[in-house]
Amino acid sequence: MQSPTSSPTPSPEIAQSLRGRSLPTWAPKAFGAAAVALALVGVFGPVGFWLVFVAWLVAAVIPLWSMIVEGRRKATDRFVTLLVTTAFVIALFPLGSILTTVVSRGAPVLGSEFFTYSMRNIVGEGGGIYHALMGTLLITAAAAAISVPIGLFTAIYLIEYGEGKRLARWIRFLVDVMTGIPSIVAGLFAYALFVIFFGPGVRMGIGGAVALSVLMIPVVVRSCEEMLKLVPNELREASYALGVPKWRTIVKVVLPTALAGIVTGVTLAVARVIGETAPLLIIAGLTDSVNFNLFDGRMATLPVFTYFSIITPGVPPGPSIERAWGAALVLLIIVMLLNLAARLVSYFFSPKGER
């Protein structure tokens, strides 16, 4: 028996009349699937890219149909949805093309020899990227060791000590400027710096680390600054109320609270610079041998190794080009793993309410 206060549930016919006429639920999915199928055939098949335009026209049937059945307001909503989806697919296409090309051409080269051998005394087939892989890891680790303390301390000053000060405004301005400098300028800066101490023609791994740190520092500063801003002021005030000095409040309260975001920002900064070629080409150079000493001699890296394998492949050129695609795939995998690590750190170590 229905209670006096409860309102009766309208029948499906009445609910439909209140909502107005609408398209069948299967229509958007069916036309969307047909458009995707036509687009894939046009991109990867022998028909040509004109079929992609036909696919978009098929998808555009839904807004036109909606105009007839549902009215102008709903049709406009469906048309904007189509435009947004089209923009997303267009943006996604280059990424998919890069992944498909690099994986298809680089995967056949990967093997135990490729990861455990260098190019010393290798002509033609054989050899690997062991020397370049070790150089990339060492130079990137040294760049992170230089950049993280400088960037973190700068961010702490800007948030905790520099509020309203002119120096803080100038630091923010310079950080913004450094964010946009070309990478080759960082390489030239590192080369000019090391020429002062070691003379012209210097090539050192630590020089590459300094060049990459110039690119990393503004990213680390910005990411750490944003994370420190998110720490509630109530936590600081509670610590001050207990008589804790400011430096200890920063170490024991502020930094642990923002740790997940800081680690994520640092990881993304490393992923940002690990693929740089121009600065390492200028200051780190290239060698076919393994070099573990950052302070003595040239040091190979994956980006520079890939560049020279394509530019000067030798005779026959096939094996060198294959190694270049393999090195590019390894570099791509490293960048993807760094981004995945940043996501995992952000998820598992952030406060539960922010997940």
Asked if 324 and 152 count as a contact pair (C-beta separation under 8 A), the reply is: no
Sign of CA dihedral 206, 209, 213, 215: positive
What whole-number percentage of the chain has pLDDT above 70?
A: 82
Residue 317: partners with Cβ closer than 8 Å, 6 or more residues away:
none
Of 77, 108, 139, the last residue of a domain is 108
Q: Tell me: do 76 and 197 sit in the same domain.
A: no
Cα(188)–Cα(3) distance, rounded to whole angstroms? 82
What is the total count of domains within the chain? 2
List, as one string, the DSSP characters of 167-205: HHHHHHHHHHHHHTS-HHHHHHHHHHHHHHHH-TT---H
Proportion of the chain above pLDDT 90, given as a percent:
33
Residues 295 and 163 in one domain: yes
For 92, the token pair is: 């996604």
253 CB-side CA count, 13 A: 20
Average pLDDT in the 154-160 region?
Answer: 92
- Is the model's pLDDT at 5 over the cut of 80? no
Q: At 197, list the tokens.
A: 């101490």
Domain contains 114? no
Whether 113 is covered by a domain: the verdict is no
- The verdict on residue 272 lying in a domain is yes
* Cβ neighbours of 340 (radius 10 Å): 12
Q: Are residues 75 and 128 in the same domain?
A: no
Q: 189 with 334, same domain?
A: yes
Q: Which of 55, 79, 108 is the last residue of a domain?
A: 108
Residues 98 and 132 in one domain: no
pLDDT, greater one: 302 or 55: 302
Are 174 and 87 within one domain?
no
Q: Could you tell me if 84 and 177 lie in one domain?
A: no
| DSSP of 99-122 | HHHHHHHHGGG-SHHHHH---TT-
Identify the pLDDT of residue 312.
85
pLDDT tens-digit map of 226-249 = 999 988 889 899 999 988 899 999
- My answer on whether 69 and 185 are in the same domain is no
Verify that 127 and 68 share a domain, yes or no: no
Q: What is the mean pLDDT of the chain?
A: 83
- Out of 22-31, 268-277, 306-315, pick the least confident: 22-31
218 with 158: CB under 8 angstroms?
Answer: no
Domain with 199 in it: what CATH number? Answer: 1.10.3720.10
Range 73-100 average pLDDT = 81
Model confidence at 44: pLDDT above 80: no
User: Average pLDDT of 299-307?
Assistant: 92
> Is residue 117 included in any domain, yes or no?
no
Q: Which one has a higher pLDDT value, 127 or 33? A: 127
Query: Does residue 262 belong to any structural domain of this protein?
Result: yes
Residue 104 structural domain: 23-108
> pLDDT tens digits, residue range 171-186?
999 999 888 888 999 9
Higher pLDDT, 214 or 68: 214
Q: Quick one: 135 and 187 in the same domain?
A: yes
